[in-house]
Amino acid sequence: MMRSRREPARVVITTMALLAIWMVVPCQVVAQAVQGRTTSSGTSGGLAAIDAAARNNKYLFIFFWKTNDEQSRNMYGVLQSAMGKLAQSADAVGIQVTDPREKPVVDKFDVSRAPLPLVLAVAPNGAITKGFPVKFDENELRQAFVTPCTARCLKALQDRRLVLLCVQNQRTQFSQAAMSGVQNFKADPRFAKATEIVALNPDDRSEVAFLQDLKVDPRTPTAVTFVLAPPGTPIAKFAGPVTKDQIVAKVTAAQSGPCAGGQCGPNGCGPKK
Amino acid sequence: MKLRTLVWRELFQRKSQMLTSFLAILLGITTVVAIKNITFYSEKAVARELDALGANVLVLPKSATLQDYYSADMHGEVIPEEYVLRLTMSNVQGVDNLSPKLCVPVNLQGKDYALTGILPKSEFQAKAAWAGAGIFSRPIGCGAIDVAAEPRPDDKRTLVRKRVIETLDTHEILVGADAAASLGLNEGDSLTLLGESFSVVAVLPQTGTVDDSRIFAHLHTVQRLSGKDGVVNCIEIVGCCKEISAGLVDNVNKLLPDAKVVTVKQVVATQTKVNGMMERLSLIFLVIIVVVGGAGIANYMYANVFERRREIGTLMALGAESFTVLRIFLLKALLLGLAGGVGGYAIGTLLAVTLGPRLAGVPVLPMPVLALWAVLISAGITLAASYFPARRAARLDPCATFQEV
């Protein structure tokens, strides 16, 4: 009799315990997954992951999160799912922005006030190729992979350097004249330290996407030179030969206006009274 | 007896009626002058603000009104600061510059000022490059640049025109022209705000807008001191023209569905509507003056002429011409009109100058041209209303008036 009386209570307790385990364990698993490497050691897992990815010539997706809420868990799920398919070319790491051990990473990217969760895609050369705030999907994550030349330009721009992108090769006309003008600009002491020349071969098939972004035909018969200014603004495009003075004029105009080209803001498209 | 004496004595016959008519004219003119004065400076401030604004798109909290924006965002409604980075990192094309703001009231030397937190460009602009490779396909000529080459001194006074500044330390402030004048502040001075000491790095040039009485500090410092961490009252966007017409506002709306995104054109439309309403209001008052004031004056004059017909008759019997009688009454009306006009202008201007900054949030100065209008309208009404009673007095037959009496 005694056993039979206790039986229902045991069943209830066991059921409740199982239910509790069923509810808590997945949350813990996700939380640990999101925490990633940061909880496994006393030092910043983020910095280690950045170094490792650069060494292995891989992209790194850094998942910044603050609270273990539904949005963070969902987005981490999206990232994990994408990583399963992109493991060859990318790693991922989770960083809780409030974790004191990860302060160097949070400060490095200055994301303490960023919309969270946030994924930053870091190219092997250290350039941030895309930021994905709050909500993203697998396809969007794939957009973070850029061509080597794009990564070089982004890196230079993120280092606050002016990029003189020379789209040319031996086939294109005025290559020499364009390169000469660009090099003269770089030789100018006013711009020397903060200018980077990036050469782009229009025949390079790996750069087709970049050429598309630049709206340059890969079969272009003439050399094309772009002036890109930080944080990532195209300020001039020259087809054919270009001189230092032409580039200086464009850079000066862009710097002096209330906005580049003076097309907006006061005296631009603001209301006329 | 001189004409002047006659007019003066005539004026103070039936004092209570004269006072009532005079008050009607005075109050009417006062109201019209005050409305016109405030409307003029409000329009001027809006025009100047828009000219100096640079920003042509505003991101506001859903519940905030455009009037809140013009009254220095002291509405308390907020949006998350993270919207700035969402905009910066987005693929939305045409955002040239951003300026988030948080305003909190501070009381200094017994006067209220708006302490406005602003975010220097250096703290968010670099993140625009996180938008990815897509930035290279953006139109040439749109987007403020940040070239490290040839470092130039950062003239913080450009804030009033460009809406953004490059750098601002956590304990540096920029002071609006009016605030600096009333607080006696100059560059290099220090000022204690909300318990912390700040150094004045620039006194901003006069703009004639609400910015003149603002004190600008670093956004994050203002957030910390006011206990409003991670929020702002508004984000001003300098958008590129072509992209605004190509749907920039819609794109920002999609990106920030919980905020209200408006273009300055809409702001202008709203402000013009408000000003139009004020204009109509002043017109209504003008009509009221004409009807009530004019009727009052006419009634007062008719009664006066009727009651004093014996004196008028006597005057005429003694040799006064009809024209003299006409002049007496018209001069009396003119005096009433002049006094009403001058008094109405003075009181109206005083009201506008004192209440204008509180009601419309703009500094209001006296407008001498309104004095001319006030006197002309007031004198015109009194003369027109008095003409027929005066003519009646001038046409009185002395014999008939003596017979009546």
A221 belongs to a structural domain: yes
**Predicted model pTM:** 0.63
- B93 CB near a chain A CB, below 8 Å? no
Closest Cα in chain B, distance from residue A188 (Å):
11
Predicted pLDDT of residue A54: 92
Residues A166 and A128 in one domain: no
- B128 CB near a chain A CB, below 8 Å? yes
Give the residues across from A220 on adjacent strands: none
Find chain A residues with C-beta within 8 A of B140's C-beta.
Answer: 234-237, 261
Domain regions of chain B by residue span: 3-46+274-404, 63-257
Mutation target to probe the A interface, by most A beta carbons within 10 A, among B136, B263, B268 is B136
Closest Cα in chain A, distance from residue B132 (Å):
4
Predicted pLDDT of residue A270: 43
Tracing tokens 């992951």 back to the chain, one arrives at A49
A252 belongs to a structural domain: yes
Nearest CA in chain B to A262: B141
CB contact under 8 A, A115 and B264: no
Of A131, A191, A213, the CB nearest to B136: A213
Answer yes or no: is pLDDT of A91 > 90. yes
pLDDT band at residue B265 under the 50/70/90 scheme? low
Residues A96 and A119 in one domain: yes
Answer yes or no: is pLDDT of A254 > 80. no
User: Is there a contact between A120 and B130 (Cβ–Cβ < 8 Å)?
Assistant: yes
Percent of chain B with pLDDT over 70: 80
> How far is residue B323's CA from residue B103's CA, in Å, rounded to a whole number?
67
A265 belongs to a structural domain: no
Work out the average pLDDT over A203-225. 92
pLDDT tens for each residue of A176-197: 999 999 999 999 988 888 899 9
Pick from A230-239, B40-49, B246-255: least confident: B40-49
Find chain B residues with C-beta within 8 A of A194's C-beta.
Answer: 147-149
CB contact under 8 A, B133 and A210: yes
Residues A153 and A138 in one domain: no
Residues A115 and A198 in one domain: no
pLDDT band at residue A76 under the 50/70/90 scheme? very high
Work out the average pLDDT over B40-54. 65
Q: Prior bond to A231 cis, omega within 30?
A: yes
- A26 CB near a chain B CB, below 8 Å? no
> How far is residue B350's CA from residue B343's CA, in Å, rounded to a whole number?
11
Residues A135 and A162 in one domain: no
Nearest CA in chain A to B95: A264
CB contact under 8 A, B137 and A232: no
CB contact under 8 A, B128 and A210: no
**HSE-CB of A105 using CA atoms within 13 angstroms:** 29
Among B6, B55, B364, B10, smallest CA distance to B238 is for B55
Work out the average pLDDT over B94-108. 85
- B100 CB near a chain A CB, below 8 Å? no
A165 belongs to a structural domain: yes
B215, containing H or E segment? strand B214-218
Percent of chain A with pLDDT over 70: 78
CB contact under 8 A, A133 and B140: no
Tokens of B77: 């409604």
Which of A142, A173, A207 is where one domain is finished? A142
- A247 CB near a chain B CB, below 8 Å? no
Tokens of B17: 């009626």
User: The domain spanning residue A164 has which CATH number?
Assistant: 3.40.30.10
Percent of chain B with pLDDT over 90: 17
pLDDT band at residue B321 under the 50/70/90 scheme? confident
Residues A152 and A136 in one domain: no
pLDDT band at residue B4 under the 50/70/90 scheme? confident
Find chain B residues with C-beta within 8 A of A210's C-beta.
Answer: 133, 136
Burial of B393 (0-12, 13-18, 19+ CB in 10 A): buried
Find chain A residues with C-beta within 8 A of B54's C-beta.
Answer: 258-259, 265-266, 270
Characterize the bridge pairing of strands A90-96 and A59-65: parallel
Mean pLDDT for all residues in chain A: 81
Residues A81 and A138 in one domain: yes
- The string of DSSP letters for B14-57 reads SHHHHHHHHHHHHHHHHHHHHHHHHHHHHHHHHHHHHHHH---E
Q: Of residues A84 and B400, which shows the higher confidence score?
A: A84
Find chain A residues with C-beta within 8 A of B220's C-beta.
Answer: 113
Work out the average pLDDT over B105-122. 87
pLDDT band at residue A27 under the 50/70/90 scheme? very low
Predicted pLDDT of residue A28: 44
Residues A117 and A204 in one domain: no
Closest Cα in chain B, distance from residue A146 (Å):
7
pLDDT tens for each residue of B351-389: 999 988 877 777 888 999 999 999 998 899 888 888 888
Which of A112, A142, A172 is where one domain is finished? A142
Among B385, B387, B328, B392, smallest CA distance to B25 is for B385
Walk across the sheet containing A162-167 and list its strands.
A195-200, A162-167, A224-229, A233-239
Answer yes or no: is pLDDT of B316 > 70. yes
CB contact under 8 A, A233 and B240: no
Residues A137 and A157 in one domain: no
Work out the average pLDDT over B90-99. 78
Answer yes or no: is pLDDT of A221 > 90. yes
Domain count, chain A: 2
Residues A191 and A208 in one domain: yes
Mutation target to probe the B interface, by most B beta carbons within 10 A, among A264, A267, A272, A273 is A264
- Residue B279 CA: distances (Å) to CA of A231, B43, B102, B283: 47, 11, 33, 6
Structural domain boundaries enclosing A135: 38-142
pLDDT band at residue A40 under the 50/70/90 scheme? very low
Mutation target to probe the B interface, by most B beta carbons within 10 A, among A161, A206, A259 is A259
Q: Of residues A270 and B93, which shows the higher confidence score?
A: B93
Answer yes or no: is pLDDT of A259 > 50. no
Residues A61 and A97 in one domain: yes
- A157 CB near a chain B CB, below 8 Å? yes
Q: What ipTM describes this predicted complex?
A: 0.70
Mean pLDDT for all residues in chain B: 80
Pick from A158-162, B213-217, B224-228, B312-316: least confident: B312-316
Predicted pLDDT of residue A273: 34
A268 belongs to a structural domain: no
A42 belongs to a structural domain: yes
Q: How many residues does chain A have?
A: 273
Residues A69 and A155 in one domain: no
A71 belongs to a structural domain: yes
Predicted pLDDT of residue B358: 78
